[in-house]
Amino acid sequence: MRIGSRDSKLAILQAQEVINKFNIPCELITMKTTGDMILDKTLDKVGGKGLFVKELDRALMCGEVDLTVHSLKDVPMEQPEGFPIVAYSKREDARDVLVFPEGIDSLDIKKPIGCSSARRRVQLKNLFPNVEISPIRGNLQTRLKKLDSGEYGALVLAAAGLHRLGLKNRISRYFSTDEILPAAGQGILAIQGRLNSFTDMINRVNDVESELCALAERAYVNELGGGCFAPIAAYATINDGQIALRVMYSSDDESKKLYMSDSASIYEAKQLGIELAKKIKQEVRSWEREK
C-alpha cells in the first residue's frame, strides 16, 4: 500500500505509527503542502487549514496514493466525495501545553506567548491577561527554534505532537481541559481513503472510542458552520457507555466566551454535538438582540 503524508518530521512519524499497525509492506510517499510553504501569513489569511490536505487529497483522487494520514484537527469538515475519513487512531494526550525556551524555567512576561489558533488565544487571555499573545507559523521544530532564539517567552502547543516526537522534556506545564479546551479531534490521527477499500487493513487501525469522540466534536463544529479558525473548541470523553461533550464558543470580537456541556449514549454521539451547537446558536442570537 502507498501511504501519503506531509513531509514534516511529525507527519512522517504519525504516518509510520499507522503503517506499523497495518503489519504489511507499505511505501510512504511524502509531499509538501501549500500550508507548509506559505509561512509569512496566518492560515486564516491564505485559505485555512485545508491547505495542509489539498495536495494529499489530489494524490488520493489521482490514485498516486492509496491512503493518507492527517492530524484530525487539520482535516476540513467536508472530504472529497468518495474519499471519506475511514479510520481514527487511538487518541494521544489531547491537552495543550506550555513550552519555555530551552534552559528557562519561568515565563518572561515582556515577551509574547506564541500560539497558532484563535481557540488558544481567547482562552490564554484568561490565564495570562497581562501577556501579549502573538501568532506563530511553521512546523513544530521551526516553532521551537523561534522560541529558543528569543522571539517568544513561551509557546502553547499540542501535547500529542511533542509526545510523538519524543520531546516530552520540553513541556513546562500541561493545561487541564478546563483551562484550555482542546480543538475538535486534537490528538487523533485520521486515515482518509477510497470508500470501501482496504477494509481489513483499516479495521486494524480504527479505534472506536476515538471515532465516537471525533463524531461528536466535529458534529458540533460542523453544525456551527465553524471553520478551523473560528474561536471554538470541543472535547469528548467516554465512560460506561456514555459520551460527555464540553464545548466552547467565542464571539467574533473575542469579548464573550460561552461554555456548555452535556452527555448522551455513545450511540447518539453525533447528535450530541449537533444539539450542543444548536443551544450555543440560541445563546449567540440572544447576544445579538442585546446589542
Q: Which amino acid is at 81?
A: E
CB 235 within 8 A of CB 116: no
Asked whether residue 179 is domain-assigned, the answer is: no
pLDDT at residue 52 in the model: 59
Query: 122 and 66: one domain?
Result: no
Active site residue 252: no
Query: 56 and 197: one domain?
Result: yes
Query: 86 and 193: one domain?
Result: yes
Cα–Cα distance between 244 and 262 in angstroms, integer? 6
pLDDT at residue 133 in the model: 96
pLDDT at residue 254 in the model: 86
Catalogue the E-assigned strands of the chain.
2-6, 27-31, 67-71, 85-88, 96-99, 113-115, 133-135, 154-158, 173-174, 189-193, 232-239, 242-250, 257-265
Q: What is the 3-state secondary structure (H, E, C) of 60-88?
A: HHCCCCCEEEEEHHHCCCCCCCCCCEEEE
- Sheet with 27-31, edge to edge strand ranges: 27-31, 2-6, 67-71, 189-193, 85-88
Cα–Cα distance between 46 and 59 in angstroms, integer? 21
Cα–Cα distance between 220 and 52 in angstroms, integer? 22
pLDDT at residue 38 in the model: 45
Cα–Cα distance between 147 and 115 in angstroms, integer? 11
List the catalytic residue out of 36, 74, 93, 96: 74
**What angle do the packed helices 269-290 and 208-224 form, to 10 degrees?**
30
CB 40 within 8 A of CB 63: no
Please give the residue range of the domain that contains residue 154: 96-174
Asked whether residue 70 is domain-assigned, the answer is: yes
Instruction: Give 68's strand partners.
Output: 4, 192
Domain count, the chain: 3
CB 83 within 8 A of CB 31: no
CATH code of residue 170: 3.40.190.10
pLDDT at residue 46 in the model: 44
Query: Looking up cell 440560541, which residue turns up?
Result: 282
Query: 199 and 280: one domain?
Result: no
- Averages of pLDDT over each 10 residues, the chain, 291 residues: 93 95 92 56 50 81 94 88 94 98 95 93 95 92 95 97 96 97 97 89 93 98 75 96 97 90 98 97 86 66
Asked whether residue 142 is domain-assigned, the answer is: yes
Query: 195 and 249: one domain?
Result: no
Query: 76 and 219: one domain?
Result: no
55 Cβ neighbours under 8 A, 6+ residues apart: 31, 32, 33, 34
